[in-house]
Amino acid sequence: MRETPYLVVDELVAEGNLATMAAHARALGVALRPHAKTHKTVELAHRQLEHGAVGLTVATVGEAEVLADAGLDDLFIAYPLWAVGPRADRLRALAGRVRLRVGADSVDGVRMLARAVHAGRDSAAPLAIAVEVDSGHHRSGMPPEDAAEVAVAALDAGLAVDGVFTFPGHSYGLEAAGPAARDEAAALEAARDALTAAGIPCPVVSGGSTPSVRSADGSVLTELRPGVYVFGDAQQWELSATTSESISLTARATVVSRRDGVAVLDAGSKILGADRAPYATGYGRLLDHPEARISALSEHHATVAFPTGTTIPALGAELRVVPNHVCNAVNLVDELIVERDGIEVGAWSVTARGRNT
Q: What are 326-350's pLDDT values in tens digits?
A: 999 999 999 999 999 999 999 999 9
Q: What are 162-221's pLDDT values in tens digits?
A: 999 999 999 999 999 999 999 999 999 999 999 999 999 999 999 999 999 999 999 999
Angle at 248 between CA 275 and CA 276, to 5 degrees: 10
Per-residue pLDDT at 111 exceeds 60:
yes
Beta bridge partners of 129: 102, 161
Q: Which of 63, 51, 29 lies closest to 229, judged by CA?
A: 51
Angle at 8 between CA 316 and CA 61, to 5 degrees: 140
Q: What are 230-280's pLDDT values in tens digits?
A: 999 999 999 999 999 999 999 999 999 999 999 999 999 999 999 999 999
Instruction: Provide the pLDDT for residue 63.
Output: 98
Instruction: Provide the pLDDT for residue 294.
Output: 98
**First-last CA distance in the chain:** 36
Q: What are 205-238's pLDDT values in tens digits?
A: 999 999 999 999 999 999 999 999 999 999 999 9
Per-residue pLDDT at 102 exceeds 70:
yes
Instruction: Provide the pLDDT for residue 184.
Output: 98
Burial of 21 (0-12, 13-18, 19+ CB in 10 A): buried
Q: At what angle do helices 61-69 and 42-50 cross, to 10 degrees?
A: 70
Instruction: Provide the pLDDT for residue 119.
Output: 79
Mean of pLDDT over the chain: 97
Q: What is the DSSP track for 81-101?
A: ----THHHHHHHHHHTTSEEE
Percent of residues, the chain, with pLDDT higher than 70: 99
Q: Give the C-alpha distances (Å, rounded to integers) separating 199 from 40, 132, 182, 202, 206.
A: 38, 18, 26, 9, 19
Distance from C-alpha of 54 to C-alpha of 34, rounded to nearest angstrom: 9
Q: What are 64-93's pLDDT values in tens digits?
A: 999 999 999 999 999 999 999 999 999 999
* Confidence band, pLDDT 50/70/90 cuts, at residue 1: confident
* CATH among 3.30.300.30, 3.40.50.150, 3.40.50.11540, 3.20.20.10 for 33-230: 3.20.20.10
Please report, for the chain, the start and end positions of each structural domain, with discontinuous segments joined by +: 33-230, 236-349
Q: Do the beta carbons of residue 283 and residue 302 sit within 8 Å?
A: yes
Mean pLDDT over 136-153 rounds to 98
**Residue 112 — φ and ψ, nearest 5°?**
-65, -45
In the CATH scheme, what architecture does the domain 236-349 have?
Answer: Beta Barrel (2.40)
Q: Which of 75, 46, 47 lies closest to 61, judged by CA?
A: 75
* Confidence band, pLDDT 50/70/90 cuts, at residue 115: very high
Instruction: Provide the pLDDT for residue 123.
Output: 59
Distance from C-alpha of 124 to C-alpha of 170, rounded to nearest angstrom: 38
Instruction: Provide the pLDDT for residue 120.
Output: 60
Instruction: Provide the pLDDT for residue 300.
Output: 98
Comparison of pLDDT for 232 and 125, the residue scoring more: 232
Instruction: Provide the pLDDT for residue 269.
Output: 98
Tally Cβ neighbours within 10 Å of residue 291. 10
Q: Which positions ≥6 away from 255 have C-beta within 8 Å?
A: 263, 264, 265, 313, 314, 315, 316, 317, 318, 319
Angle at 190 between CA 184 and CA 193, to 5 degrees: 135
Per-residue pLDDT at 122 exceeds 60:
no
Instruction: Provide the pLDDT for residue 125.
Output: 81
Distance from C-alpha of 7 to C-alpha of 321, rounded to nearest angstrom: 9
- Going across the sheet that includes 74-80, the strands are 31-32, 223-224, 204-207, 160-165, 128-132, 99-104, 74-80, 56-58
